[in-house]
Amino acid sequence: MIRIALVGGIGSGKTFISKLFGYPVFSADNSVSKIYSKNKKVFLKLKKKIPNFFKNFPIKKEELIRAIIKDKDNIKKISAIVHPEVRKDLFKFIKKNNRKKAVVLDIPLFLENKLNKKEDIIIFIQSPNKETLKRVKQRKNFNKLILQKLTKLQLPLKFKKKNSQYVIKNKFKKDLARKSVKNILDKIL
């Protein structure tokens, strides 16, 4: 099975591109949302570690935002609890799809969390900064301070691009993106 990992900045269009490959997609963002809404064990750990912010299960995005804004170390505490659960979901996904020709990994901190294997195909999603920022600002619960803190967790974009075998220049036009995806699939399959 070929593991295709998409990397890039926040709002670069990794999720948009991931859907164009036609293979099963693991979305770390979806995994995290599921963990916050369904995993009571994570809630209890967060409540114990950061008691002033998490009142009731399920975990609410507003509570996370308040915790992160209040103390810069809280994002590390949250990550230390949530990321191992995302890894478990990833391993289940890989196991479930091990007979597929390929899978697509939409994991924003793929390189940062050292999830890459030597044989992975890493694709950098490059998009215009102006368009990316516009798209991020349209998201529900957008918070500029949170965006800055999340960006600091990420490796520099130059590093991600340098460590990728392919680059897709995403202009958020489906036909152009589909053509780029097809070109890459023709080369790797």
Q: Residue 60 and residue 63: Cα distance in Å, rounded?
A: 5
pLDDT number for residue 99: 97
Tell me if 3 sits within 8 A of 103, measured CB to CB: yes
How do strand 102-106 and strand 121-126 relate by DSSP bridges?
unpaired
pLDDT number for residue 148: 87
- CA 6 centroid distance within chain: 9
Residues 6+ apart with CB under 8 A from 111: 7, 122, 155, 159, 160, 163
pLDDT number for residue 5: 98
pLDDT averaged over 10-residue windows placed end to end, the chain, 189 residues: 96 96 97 97 96 94 92 93 97 98 96 94 94 85 85 93 97 93 97
CA atoms within 13 Å, Cβ hemisphere of 152: 11
pLDDT number for residue 141: 78
Structure tokens at 62: 């507003």
3-state secondary structure of 165: coil
Helical ranges in 104-143 per DSSP H: 129-137
Rg (CA), the chain: 17
pLDDT number for residue 150: 87
pLDDT number for residue 137: 87
- Whether this prediction's pTM lies above 0.75 is answered by yes
Neighbours of 44 (CB within 10 A): 13
Residue with tokens 């349209």: 138
Pick the closest to residue 181 from 164, 159, 163, 166 (CA basis).
166
Structure tokens at 10: 């926040």
pLDDT number for residue 140: 80
